[in-house]
Structure 1
């Protein structure tokens, strides 16, 4: 079922017109849970890159938007769940740059319900929403299914924006952290950010990804992305899948308590789907003694609440 929006705009602008704030700020926090272990805690504020395309959404979308403009496409088609930040960022990019946008949403049962705030924002930005059943959604990359969803002029961006172009775009995040980080923590949905981040770091640095979905599939996906983007595994990276809280967009009393305590300590509200889980994981690792004294621990803040 479709949610109808406005007609496609006549053309698309260069993504540079959005004037992202790069490199994103790096700020240090004093947190006793890290300080008592002799660790420094720094926040890489990618959430401040752009008000409508924050964090890894900008870094992954920008190369795809350039490719779409170069191809002459007038429409962007992409995929996501009911609370997808990627759908919101793609809709905003379409509005700002002059692309039409189509969002294929997982779950045809949602078509008969009022739009949640995330999908309502997509629709307000001009995105046409197509709700498909979950079995069809799982087959979204198959040519016959994709042909039924995408108009002839559409440029297709994968779920979460993660492809080889996105991984290449995220290498700049790693380069911005050369010389200022020993360990970098990042939340992982589809794996594109970690794939590029790790490739951009220098020798002696390492990245830890914190999956926000359960299932244990992400290592294979990150390796696939690195193979496509770089020809093989790049950088030192690992995954810690203990902090997904039960699955995507799910939370727990422990996570809520951690986020509330962090806001009380530092005056920073944490986005729950990604950022809070990552910071909860890094703080737990610090308290477990996973990092040597003197380690500079950088957390990538990929989105706002």
Structure 2
């Protein structure tokens, strides 16, 4: 795998909600850098694939939900590298249902999909099914969301030298790997703010296993957070932004993050600075699955 260190462009967001309050917001377009596995997905996986190829492992095993961006990216990169890959999917009941667009693409890229109960899924690599498969096939295990030390190393390459001009770096948080990489590579004056999208109390401790500094903070907006929520206001917001700027946001991470920032600035609850760089972490592959699940009208690529 090519382990070059590309630089994503920073795109100014000319939203009146920001400009009227004297807030400058740029979006780092990581989503445009890697067409196969956009944004932080490629960053998280590239050193994992490099480690696998330098080892005696015969393939990869990783985890995700039915609409997982991580599974999709891992499958695409494994196909590109011609590496066997197994995806452990949360929800045994899905095995007898038609595959959604995300899982169909995973399968098309050669990923072996194995559906397990939610109870066993929580055990991850310690589950009986996974343990047996890993041992039998000699597989390199990558955690859910790809977050491990190698993933954080990849995410430390997101920020460029000229990004030092921003006083706030913002990103959406699912497992914490991207935020950890940003916090580890941010300049001394910068605050890294994570918009937490899941109800997972283990995220702060997970981040602390990779980062010793206290230059980061997690925030949540309970009204809009969560993988399983479809909010009409969010759909409207994404469509309006796409028409105004041409920027396509994903429904799980970047759209809720930006929508939340707009709301916090309107409500005067944003206190982290006015010169902001948000990271577009990709994930637009999930739009088809989102529209499939919610019969929604999210703008598509």
TM over 0.5: yes
Which residue is equivalent to 1:24?
8
- Residues 1:193 and 2:170 are matched in the alignment: no
Deviation of 1:175 after TM superposition, in Å, equals 4.6
The answer to whether the 8 Å contact 1:182/1:295 transfers is yes
Which residue is equivalent to 2:69?
85
Which residue is equivalent to 1:204?
189
The answer to whether the 8 Å contact 1:243/1:281 transfers is no
> Could you list the runs of 5+ residues in structure 1 that have no partner in the other structure?
1-14, 227-231
- Residues 1:302 and 2:276 are matched in the alignment: no
Which residue is equivalent to 1:3?
none
- Residues 1:117 and 2:117 are matched in the alignment: no
* Partner of residue 38 from structure 1, selected from 13, 18, 22: 22
- Residues 1:282 and 2:265 are matched in the alignment: no
Q: Which has the higher mean CA deviation after the structures are superposed, 53-62 or 245-254?
A: 245-254
Give the Cα–Cα distance (whole angstroms) in 2 for the partners of residues 252 and 177 of structure 1. 36
* Count of matched residue positions in the alignment of Structure 1 and Structure 2: 283
Which residue is equivalent to 1:68?
52
Aligned-residue CA RMSD in angstroms?
2.1
Q: 1:124 to 1:172 in 2, by over 3 A?
A: same
Give the Cα–Cα distance (whole angstroms) in 2 for the partners of residues 55 and 242 of structure 1. 23
Give the Cα–Cα distance (whole angstroms) in 1 for the partners of residues 86 and 272 of structure 2. 49
Give the Cα–Cα distance (whole angstroms) in 1 for the partners of residues 273 and 169 of structure 2. 14
Give the Cα–Cα distance (whole angstroms) in 1 for the partners of residues 159 and 24 of structure 2. 18
- Residues 1:171 and 2:156 are matched in the alignment: yes
Q: 1:174 to 1:236 in 2, by over 3 A?
A: farther
- Superposition TM-score, scaled by structure 1 size: 0.86
After superposition, give the CA deviation of every residue in 1:160-212 in whole Å (9 maximum; x if it has no partner).
00011111221112355641321111111111000111111011101111122
Deviation of 1:78 after TM superposition, in Å, equals 0.4
Deviation of 1:215 after TM superposition, in Å, equals 4.0
The answer to whether the 8 Å contact 1:185/1:282 transfers is no
Q: 1:195 to 1:177 in 2, by over 3 A?
A: farther
Q: 1:23 to 1:83 in 2, by over 3 A?
A: same
Q: 1:176 to 1:127 in 2, by over 3 A?
A: farther
The answer to whether the 8 Å contact 1:244/1:277 transfers is no
Q: 1:263 to 1:184 in 2, by over 3 A?
A: same
SS in 2 for 1:238: strand
Which residue is equivalent to 1:56?
40
* Partner of residue 147 from structure 2, selected from 148, 156, 162: 162
Q: 1:255 to 1:195 in 2, by over 3 A?
A: same
* Partner of residue 271 from structure 1, selected from 210, 235, 250: 250
- Superposition TM-score, scaled by structure 2 size: 0.87
Give the Cα–Cα distance (whole angstroms) in 1 for the partners of residues 243 and 164 of structure 2. 30
After superposition, give the CA deviation of every residue in 1:136-155 in whole Å (9 maximum; x if it has no partner).
11112327553223234211
Q: Which has the higher mean CA deviation after the structures are superposed, 109-118 or 30-39?
A: 30-39
Give the Cα–Cα distance (whole angstroms) in 1 for the partners of residues 204 and 5 of structure 2. 31
After superposition, give the CA deviation of every residue in 1:72-123 in whole Å (9 maximum; x if it has no partner).
3231110000000000001001110110111000000000001000000000
* Partner of residue 247 from structure 1, selected from 195, 214, 226: 226
Q: Which has the higher mean CA deviation after the structures are superposed, 247-256 or 35-44?
A: 247-256
Give the Cα–Cα distance (whole angstroms) in 1 for the partners of residues 180 and 225 of structure 2. 24
Which residue is equivalent to 2:169?
184
SS in 1 for 2:34: coil
SS in 2 for 1:250: coil
